Amino acid sequence: MANLFPAASIAAATESKADYIRHRAFDDAHYKQLVLEYLHQFGSASRQDLERLLTDKLSDALSAAQKRNKIQNLLARMSRHDGSIIRTGPKQQAVWRLVELLGAAPQSKIAGQE
């Protein structure tokens, strides 16, 4: 069964504006900016740190598993495609860092991909 939520105009007319905001999704640029700000401020973050940062900001329409998957996909895009962050350390104790603070080239450049 699909989760259906009202459009903004319907929400405004039916006094469900707060529900509309809680259920709509922000674009990925918003979540990326949160991750970048966190890493710039604190230098590094575990996956658990980033999940705590983002989970309650994701749409309430997503299940807990969907939220974890969304965060995983976001981090993968930021490390593989954007090259803005890098994961260091073994998978279970991995730490995410900003590439610019490490003075390293983005992952795609390291691998010779463009």
pTM: 0.69
Q: SS3 string of 80-97?
A: HHHCCEEEECCHHHCEEE
Residue 66 pLDDT exceeds 80: yes
Q: Is 44 helix (H, G, I), strand (E, B) or coil?
A: strand
pLDDT tens-digit readout, 9-64: 554 555 556 665 655 567 889 999 999 999 999 999 999 999 999 999 988 888 99
Q: pLDDT band at residue 91, thresholds of 50, 70 and 90?
A: confident
Integer angstrom CA distances of residue 76 from 23, 87, 99, 107:
24, 9, 14, 11
DSSP 3-state of 46 = strand
Fold observed for domain 27-104: Arc Repressor Mutant, subunit A (1.10.10)
Query: Both tokens of residue 79?
Result: 């490390």
CA distances from 58 to 18, 50, 83 (A): 14, 12, 23
Report pLDDT for 96.
Answer: 96
**Residue of 39, 48, 41 lying closest to 78 (CA atoms):** 39
Instruction: Report the pLDDT value the prediction gives residue 25, as an integer from 0 to 100.
Output: 61
